Structure 1
Amino acid sequence: MSLPAFINVPVNEQLSELCVYVNTKGAELPVEVTQANQSDILVRVISDIDKVWKGTDDNDVEYVFNSVFSLVLYESPEVIKRLVELLTEKLVIGNGERAAIRLRILYNLFNGVEPEKRLAFVVYCGMLKLACKTKNCDQIPTDLDMVRKWSGLWKLTKDETHHVLKLLYDALQECKHSEASSKVMIELLGTYTTDNASKARDDAHRCIVNTLADPNIYLMDHLIALRPVKFLEGELIHDLLTIFVSGKLIDYMEFQKANTDFVKSLGLSHEENIAKMRTLTLMSMAVDNKDLPFDLVIKEMQMSEDEVEGFIIDVVRTKMVRAKIDQLQRKVVVSFSTHRTFGKQQWMLLRERLEQWERNLGQVTKGLESLNTAISQQTAQ
């Protein structure tokens, strides 16, 4: 049977035609629609809307849902809220098949209720849940700046802000967008105060674990300053984070030996932890020492001489360190190393370098002025 055309006819007639169509898919909806039963029948249509997926192509499914949306918007605000929540739930809890069209339909609904209305918050949360479940973030807006803007327009409470940021984080994590998810989690943890930091304990714990497990993240000192992370001081997870922030490989090895079961319980790979700590240890060593003898590298990294070259190549690939190997003198020559922490000492060093650059530029300027004067005098003669 062909899909009916829901043209510009009275709402009760359009809803009646919609009921007739959904009934062809196996529903048993009343087709006599009056103003008195219109809202109740629309609820029943949405409750049975899953049936339209069977044997219907994506374009026709989208057309049906858009027709439902147009009918929903004729209802009173209280009824619209109920219907939008029900529609969103139906699209999210459906099986993972045809996830792309489900997300597109949700996005249509999101745009239909307008971003400045709080109903858009409900729909957006549904979009994030579905994106997380189906590992598909490419079809929905996930930019953190935009979410901040919407949060203000929607006038979200603190709890609602926490809720949407958690959903956004979960979706980005499942979609392997580690850099974006890390920014969202830091944003989330940063919204807590000293008074309610304890409520974010689980989020802080998860943030630390995911950061340690991420092979692309080496700088973690910014986490230490977050209040929910500070709340974990004295616990093993905080001790482990501190090692990754400022400790060396030997510190991690001692911690792992004493807390093997704990490290395993986090789901972290011991081998990957060693690899990351070796890179972090070299970063610390290379800040003050530009020539690192092989023997020192072998000792600190707890590796054989045959492993040094491959290790340095892997470290250089991280772009945390720039270095080359001098095989004749058996040393690693470092030209640059990223600071693992950036505190008062690093700010002072940066200030000194900027001041030195300023002095050097001043000397260059004076030299150019003198040269220009000499050329002008020669020209005048």
Structure 2
Amino acid sequence: MQGPPVFMDLALEDQVQELRVYLKELGAEITEEKSPKGIEDDLHKIIGVCDACFKEGSEQEVEKVLNDIVSIMVVIPLERAENIILAFCEKLTKAPGTRLGMVTLRALWLLYQSLDDKSPMRYHVYYHLVQVAKQTDQVRAVFKDVDNLKQQFATCPPSIEQMQKLYRLLHEVLLASGQSEQAAKVMYELLGTYTAENASHAREDAIRCIASALADPQTFLLDPLLSLKPVRFLEGELIHDLLSVFVSEKLPAYISFYEKHKVFVTSQGLNHEQNLKKMRLLTFMQLAETQSEMSFDLIQEELQITENEVEAFIIDVLKTKLVRARMDQAARKVFISSTMHRTFGRAQWQQLRDLLYLWKQNLSGIQTGMKKVSKAQLELIKH
């Protein structure tokens, strides 16, 4: 993301004077005279009323005022600028409307880029950037992925508590913008910041993580959640039981759980019909792990759908690319080529080992055969 840096060529005192005069003309409660306490006090007063330009100024004028404030802030020694920067960030998060939100987003991005990589204030500016990005639906402009985020703070890592706060905000913003896969990665990262000693404090984060993963129509591999310490701490609770159903059980187990705990499922923000759809897909995947072909009748029975719904369901399965298969309508069968495993534990590793060993043997046999053919051809040439 890029913003138009507009640094005035005037001396700092003169820039402050012009900003005071301009804001006073807009009706802000500020005097034109500079503060006898110095530029820091001037900035505090200017930032306190800079939202006057939100009401009266054009977008270009607002951006120029905000950029001018940034140009003054970044030359003030950090130890004297921290409170000023925080006040500026807070003020900009309150800009009304999407258009002004875009202007304030660019101003905050300019401030973020202008700060030294080792400045601890970069975290605070970035946090407010994400808040404004949420209001303007521009999270893609400020967040690429978790690895990129870590790199940005590599020279001055925030505290664990600060990163947990940021991850929670990012998870919320990413979900709201439809980036469920990135949201899940952020939540995994958040839960990974907890240790066995403080996993109990992650209860709400863990519950939120499970609920959002279950609700996400694109998330099917749920087994990794069970290994997270905060999730393990929930063993014995309904939310953990529900997760276990989605990890390894079939459709009847979910229906039984729902019949007993309808209120609980709804209270987690989960939709029963969407849950049924996901459980049918997961059940089909589990069946496909052990069967190379399935009849329409079996699918209808196992997934509790009508005869007319079978073909549409299979098409939905193929769209997910979780299963590679071919449907034969005439034979009323589905032929399975491969499927993603719902869980990947010791049994799956053993199966993979056996498969690789078999491939190795086959390749060895082919190599031996090729050597014999080559030897026989050489003998023919000699004779």
Q: Counterpart of 2:242 in 1: which secondary structure? A: helix
Is the CA contact 1:100–1:139 (under 8 Å) kept in the aligned structure 2?
Answer: no
The answer to whether 1:65 aligns with 2:76 is: no
The structural deviation recorded for 1:115 is: 3.2
The structural deviation recorded for 1:10 is: 2.6
Q: For residue 115 of structure 1, what is the aligned residue in structure 2?
A: 117
What is the CA–CA distance in structure 2 between the aligned matches of 1:254 and 1:145, rounded to whole Å?
40
Q: For residue 177 of structure 2, what is the aligned residue in structure 1?
A: 175
Q: For residue 362 of structure 1, what is the aligned residue in structure 2?
A: 364
Is the CA contact 1:30–1:41 (under 8 Å) kept in the aligned structure 2?
Answer: no
Q: Which one is further off, 343-352 or 158-167?
A: 158-167
Q: For residue 30 of structure 2, what is the aligned residue in structure 1?
A: 29
Q: Counterpart of 2:321 in 1: which secondary structure? A: coil
Deviations 1:266-315 (A, max 9, x none): 22111111111111111111111122233322221112222111111111
What is the CA–CA distance in structure 1 between the aligned matches of 2:327 and 2:272, rounded to whole Å?
27
The structural deviation recorded for 1:223 is: 0.4
Is the CA contact 1:244–1:280 (under 8 Å) kept in the aligned structure 2?
Answer: yes
Deviations 1:10-46 (A, max 9, x none): 3212210111112222213222226634322211101
Q: Counterpart of 1:323 in 2: which secondary structure? A: strand
Is the CA contact 2:292–2:336 (under 8 Å) kept in the aligned structure 1?
Answer: yes
What is the CA–CA distance in structure 1 between the aligned matches of 2:327 and 2:77, rounded to whole Å?
73
Q: Which one is further off, 169-178 or 30-39?
A: 30-39
The structural deviation recorded for 1:147 is: 1.6
Out of 276, 298, 301, the position equivalent to 1:299 is 301
What one-letter code is carried by the residue in structure 2 that aligns with 1:243?
A: V
Deviations 1:68-88 (A, max 9, x none): 112123334233101110111
TM-score by length of 2: 0.92
Q: For residue 145 of structure 2, what is the aligned residue in structure 1?
A: 143
What is the CA–CA distance in structure 2 between the aligned matches of 1:6 and 1:124, rounded to whole Å?
21
Is the CA contact 2:59–2:103 (under 8 Å) kept in the aligned structure 1?
Answer: yes
Judged with a 3 Å threshold, the aligned counterparts in structure 2 of structure 1 residues 135 and 34 are, in CA distance, closer, same or farther, namely closer
Is the CA contact 2:70–2:107 (under 8 Å) kept in the aligned structure 1?
Answer: no
The structural deviation recorded for 1:329 is: 4.0
Q: CA RMSD in A?
A: 1.9
Contiguous gaps of at least 5 residues in structure 2? 1-5
Q: For residue 105 of structure 2, what is the aligned residue in structure 1?
A: 103
Overall identity of the aligned pairs, in %: 38
Matches within 5 A, 1:339-354: 339-354=341-356
Matches within 5 A, 1:271-290: 271-290=273-292
Q: How many residues align?
A: 377
Deviations 1:75-102 (A, max 9, x none): 3423310111011111112224322222
Deviations 1:192-213 (A, max 9, x none): 1111111111111111111111
Out of 214, 226, 236, the position equivalent to 2:216 is 214
What is the CA–CA distance in structure 2 between the aligned matches of 1:378 and 1:19, rounded to whole Å?
99
Deviations 1:232-254 (A, max 9, x none): 11111111111000011000100
Q: For residue 3 of structure 2, what is the aligned residue in structure 1?
A: none
Out of 194, 197, 200, the position equivalent to 2:196 is 194
Q: Which one is further off, 26-35 or 41-50?
A: 26-35
Deviations 1:303-335 (A, max 9, x none): 222211111111111111122333444332222
Q: Which one is further off, 5-14 or 94-103?
A: 5-14
What one-letter code is carried by the residue in structure 1 that aligns with 2:190?
A: L
What one-letter code is carried by the residue in structure 2 that aligns with 1:224?
A: L
What is the CA–CA distance in structure 2 between the aligned matches of 1:76 and 1:114, rounded to whole Å?
11
The structural deviation recorded for 1:375 is: 4.0
What is the CA–CA distance in structure 2 between the aligned matches of 1:94 and 1:79, rounded to whole Å?
25
The answer to whether 1:323 aligns with 2:325 is: yes
What is the CA–CA distance in structure 2 between the aligned matches of 1:360 and 1:104, rounded to whole Å?
60
Is the CA contact 1:321–1:334 (under 8 Å) kept in the aligned structure 2?
Answer: yes
The structural deviation recorded for 1:186 is: 0.5
Out of 371, 374, 380, the position equivalent to 2:373 is 371
What is the CA–CA distance in structure 2 between the aligned matches of 1:56 and 1:373, rounded to whole Å?
88
The structural deviation recorded for 1:154 is: 2.1
Is the CA contact 1:104–1:139 (under 8 Å) kept in the aligned structure 2?
Answer: no
Is the CA contact 2:86–2:124 (under 8 Å) kept in the aligned structure 1?
Answer: yes
Q: Which one is further off, 222-231 or 150-159?
A: 150-159
Q: Which one is further off, 325-334 or 342-351?
A: 325-334
What is the CA–CA distance in structure 1 between the aligned matches of 2:328 and 2:77, rounded to whole Å?
77
Q: Counterpart of 1:139 in 2: which secondary structure? A: helix
Q: Which one is further off, 136-145 or 116-125?
A: 136-145
Q: For residue 15 of structure 1, what is the aligned residue in structure 2?
A: 16
What one-letter code is carried by the residue in structure 1 that aligns with 2:282?
A: L
Q: For residue 167 of structure 2, what is the aligned residue in structure 1?
A: 165
Q: Counterpart of 2:187 in 1: which secondary structure? A: helix
